Amino acid sequence: MNFQAIKSIYIAEMARTKRTIFQSVISPVISTVLYFVVFGAAIGSRITEVDGVSYGAFIVPGLIMLSLMTQSLSNASFGIYFPRFTGTIFEVLSAPVSFFEITIAYVGAAATKSIVVGLIILGTANFFVDLQIQHPVFMALFFILTAVTFALLGFIIGIWADNFEKLQFVPLLIVTPLAFLGGSFYSINMLPEFWQTVTLANPVVYLISGFRWSFYGSADVSLWLSLLMTMIFLAGSLAVIHWIFKTGYRLKP
Amino acid sequence: MAPILSVRQLEKTYEGGFQALKSVSLDIQKGEVFALLGPNGAGKTTLISAICGLVKPTSGTVTVGGFDIQSDFRKARQLIGLVPQEMPTAPFEIVGDSVAFSRGLFGLRPDRSKIDAILKDLTLYEKRTSQIMALSGGMKRRLLVAKALAHEPQILFLDEPTAGVDVELRHDMWRIVGRLRDTGVTIILTTHYIEEAEEMADRVGVINKGEIILVENKTELMRKLGRKVLTLTLAEPLAEIPGSLAEFDLTLSEDKHFLTYAYDTQAERTGITSLMSALAAAGIRFQDLQTDQSSLEDIFVDLVRNGEASGL
Ligand SMILES: Nc1ncnc2c1ncn2[C@@H]1O[C@H](COP(=O)(O)OP(=O)(O)O)[C@@H](O)[C@H]1O
Ligand SMILES: [Mg+2]
């Protein structure tokens, strides 16, 4: 293993975040807090409790998941797309670095950033509502698994995209709606039966449900199903990346 | 001595079916400066990219320092530094960090004294804390060389190091190559400027349409394929070349003061003696004479043209 190379890429990626601290950390935190204020205060005054938890507290896990997913996705996709776009990726591809190491470095950096953002949001939310974390280990597990899985997904998008539109397209048109409709702001039990069934086809439901369970002990779907789906999601992303590197797709003509 | 780089029957067909390399075989010796000469689209960049791991070869093998570039890619790549044809740089990165990054990719710790030495060597030390976008074009090019040298490679690839640069920068690059050669680094450069190959290379390979059509020691090449031109300064202007001299390949300059005669130095008879007699017989006197060796440029143009004529 070329650990030094992993470290170098990781550090360079984190340095990029530092240069763009507003865009990468402060702005997601601000927008999440806005969601929080709008949904929690405006709607929360009408819906007092969901599954025995105040609405304001109920949406916190969903909000954290939402930002974790979108942040991981955009960090990772941009992180690999940018050097492809400028051409500096040649350096990494011609160095004694394996694809596995390249993935660890880029995905690790992207996941780290979104985890930091997620933690800041968690800390901020603590000021507004009464938070309780009943199952901290599972919480950490879902937190990290989601960050890594979506960073992997973002990495794939960053390799697949050959222009900026495509880079924006998938997160905006696919992942954000899935995240919104995945129960970030509501329990799927609140939906009519038909839509409950449809919603179960949305992979994000399982992530949010499992994550929320680790806070309040109540969930839309069973914990183990949530974990299983998360793992399948993760394995799927890894398989695609394995294929990308095996075929040289978009990286090596 | 075993070659430091050995390319065997390397082929590359791009997706879409275009064959950019046709069974290329090439050996490079340690310490030499090798110029790969060829027109645009000949396959120079493809060849370098395949060796450096940026393009997947369709077939064939490449070893670097005895290590196969696929099965032993880490050891092979450790020996290689690459300065690509385009100048890809991350605009917001800091010069010094950028060199440290390159070094890190090759598994080496960011040794400040080494990095500073490389930056000084390429006269970038004053700029070490600047962002890359603040560098001039020439500095960017030098930075790319610095990055390629950051892990102290034994072989340096320079893909068209002087394409589109001004004269000063070109000579700057030549000096850098000269200094590197003195330290024992093997250098493989591509160019379509003959002048450059002539100036820097020990050996020259000519590639055209994906095929290496010739590899030759530079001086040997010039001797072998060189044509010389004899220029006679006439005592009196000549209205036209008399018919008695028609058998010679003569050209009369526009101002009618010079006669030039092209001949092959390798031919059994250069024809100079008979030309002299024929001139005397025609009563043409001259004040001075001078011979010029044809440059690599002429040789190159000849080669490529002949290649085309024979359907290569
Ligand atoms: N990624 C690619 N896909 C398809 N064709 C390519 C690709 N890269 C280069 N080529 C083609 O291969 C040929 C050789 O290109 P290249 O190696 O860049 O030549 P050179 O460096 O000698 O100018 C050209 O005809 C070019 O169009
Ligand atoms: Mg080229």
Structure confidence by residue, pLDDT tens digits, B117-137: 999 999 999 999 999 999 988
pLDDT at residue number B168: 82
pLDDT at residue number B224: 64
Its CATH architecture, for the domain B5-219, is 3-Layer(aba) Sandwich (3.40)
pTM: 0.85
* B48 CA: nearest ligand 1 atom: 17
- Kindly list the residues from chain A whose CB atom is less than 8 angstroms away from the CB atom of residue B77: 94-96
Give the model confidence (pLDDT) of B135-184 as tens digits. Answer: 988 899 999 999 999 999 999 999 998 877 788 888 888 888 999 999 99
pLDDT at B310 over 60: no
Q: At A135, list the tokens.
A: 């199952």
CA distance A145 to chain B (A): 27
> What's the CA-to-centroid distance between A61 and ligand 2, angstroms?
53
Its CATH architecture, for the domain B227-293, is 2-Layer Sandwich (3.30)
Q: State the average pLDDT over residues B228-246.
A: 86
CA separation for the pair B263, B155 (Å, rounded): 39
pLDDT at residue number B296: 62
* Number of compact structural domains in chain A: 1
CA separation for the pair A230, A149 (Å, rounded): 8
Interface of chain B against chain A, CB under 8 Å? Answer: 14-15, 52-56, 73-75, 77-78, 80, 82, 84, 86, 88-93, 97, 100-110, 147
> What's the CA-to-centroid distance between A109 and ligand 2, angstroms?
34
* B18 CA: nearest ligand 1 atom: 5
Q: How high is the ipTM of this complex?
A: 0.89
> What's the CA-to-centroid distance between B155 and ligand 1, angstroms?
23
* A253 CA: nearest ligand 1 atom: 1
Higher local confidence (pLDDT), B28 or B309: B28
Q: At what angle do helices A55-86 and A3-19 cross, to 10 degrees?
A: 110
Residue numbers of the domain that contains A198: 3-247
Q: Label each residue of B208-246 as H, E or C.
A: ECCEEEEEEEHHHHHHHHCEEEEEEEECCCCCCCCHHHC
Neighbours of ion ligand 2 (CB under 5 A): B 44-45, 85
**Mean pLDDT, rounded, of chain B:** 88
Let me know if residue A223 belongs to a domain: yes
Nearest listed ligand to the Cα of residue B37: 1
pLDDT at residue number A81: 95
Q: Which helix (H) or strand (E) holds A149?
A: helix A136-160
- Kindly list the residues from chain B whose CB atom is less than 8 angstroms away from the CB atom of residue A244: none
CA distance A160 to chain B (A): 17
pLDDT confidence tier of residue B198, bands split at 50, 70 and 90: confident
pLDDT confidence tier of residue B197, bands split at 50, 70 and 90: confident
Q: At B26, list the tokens.
A: 């090439």
pLDDT at A199 over 90: no
pLDDT at B311 over 50: no
pLDDT confidence tier of residue A188, bands split at 50, 70 and 90: confident
* Buried residues in A85-98 as b, exposed as e (16+ CB within 10 A): beebbbbbbbbbbb
Residues whose beta carbon lies within 6 Å of some atom of ligand 1: A 253; B 14, 16, 18, 20, 38, 40-46
Give the model confidence (pLDDT) of A114-138 as tens digits. Answer: 999 999 889 888 887 878 899 999 9
CA distance A6 to chain B (A): 8
pLDDT confidence tier of residue B312, bands split at 50, 70 and 90: very low
B26 within 8 A of B35, measured Cβ to Cβ = no
Residue in A96, A97, A252 nearest the CB of B54: A252
> What's the CA-to-centroid distance between B45 and ligand 1, angstroms?
7
Nearest listed ligand to the Cα of residue B163: 2
Q: State the average pLDDT over residues A198-220.
A: 88
CA distance B104 to chain A (A): 5
Long-range contacts, A131-137 (Cβ 8 Å, 24+) = A131/A57, A131/A60, A131/A215, A132/A57, A132/A215, A132/A216, A133/A214, A133/A215, A134/A214, A134/A215, A134/A216, A134/A217, A135/A213, A135/A214, A135/A215, A135/A217, A136/A214
Give the model confidence (pLDDT) of A32-80 as tens digits. Answer: 778 877 877 777 677 777 777 888 888 889 889 988 999 999 999 999 9
| Cα–chain center distance at B245 | 40
Higher local confidence (pLDDT), B66 or A58: B66
> What's the CA-to-centroid distance between B205 and ligand 2, angstroms?
15
A104 interfaces chain B, CB cutoff of 8 Å: no
Please judge whether A5 and B90 are an interchain contact, meaning their C-beta atoms are less than 8 angstroms apart: no
Dihedral pair phi/psi, residue A201, rounded to 5°: -80, -10
Percent of chain B with pLDDT over 70: 91
pLDDT at residue number B297: 65
A91 interfaces chain B, CB cutoff of 8 Å: yes
Nearest CA to ligand 1 atom 6: B14
Please judge whether B105 and A97 are an interchain contact, meaning their C-beta atoms are less than 8 angstroms apart: yes
Give the model confidence (pLDDT) of B106-118 as tens digits. Answer: 999 989 999 999 9
Let me know if residue A253 belongs to a domain: no
CA separation for the pair A195, A177 (Å, rounded): 15
